[in-house]
């Protein structure tokens, strides 16, 4: 099933819904993550659905978390695999499995100075 999801990315340029992936929504507005803390279970497949409802470009910057997870569609991340970058009104889905329990920082690289901060916990 997961291979079929990845194949859909290659063929259609978008990921079809994976039956086994748990969906978690993250909304970006100007200078805020909603919710500002995400919790995942390790070794469970997830679909992180991210939507930028702000008027500016925003990032989901979590380099330590992304490095520790098994990412199925790394093209959703920037070339350094540290950020998901979204223009206003853009949405992206990241399919991953968190492998290492722990706490990880979450921030918007361009707006952390203005309080656009959060966290990720992998249990």
- What residues contact 59, with CB distance under 8 A and at least 6 apart? 83, 84, 85, 86, 108, 109, 110
For the chain, report the end-to-end CA distance as a whole number of angstroms. Answer: 24
| Superfamily (CATH) of domain 21-122 | Cupredoxins -  blue copper proteins (2.60.40.420)
Number of alpha carbons in the 13 Å side-chain half-sphere of residue 123? 4
pTM, entire model: 0.84
Contact present, 61 and 45 (Cβ < 8 Å): no
Please report, for the chain, the start and end positions of each structural domain, with discontinuous segments joined by +: 21-122
Q: Give the count of beta carbons closer than 10 Å to the beta carbon of residue 54.
A: 20
pLDDT digits (tens, 9 = 90+) for 19-74: 689 999 999 999 999 999 999 999 999 999 999 999 999 999 999 999 999 999 99
């Amino acid at each position: 099933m997961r291979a079929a999801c990845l194949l859909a990315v290659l063929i259609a340029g978008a990921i079809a819904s994976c039956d086994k992936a748990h969906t978690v929504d993250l909304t970006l507005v100007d200078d805020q993550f909603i919710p500002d803390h995400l919790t995942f279970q390790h070794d469970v497949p997830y679909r992180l659905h991210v939507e930028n409802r702000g008027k500016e470009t925003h990032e989901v910057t979590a380099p330590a978390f992304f490095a520790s997870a098994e990412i199925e569609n790394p093209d959703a991340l920037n070339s350094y695999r540290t950020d998901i970058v979204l223009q206003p009104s853009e949405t992206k889905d990241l399919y991953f499995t968190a492998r290492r329990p722990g706490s990880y920082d979450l921030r918007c690289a361009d707006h952390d100075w203005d309080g656009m901060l959060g966290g990720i916990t992998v249990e």
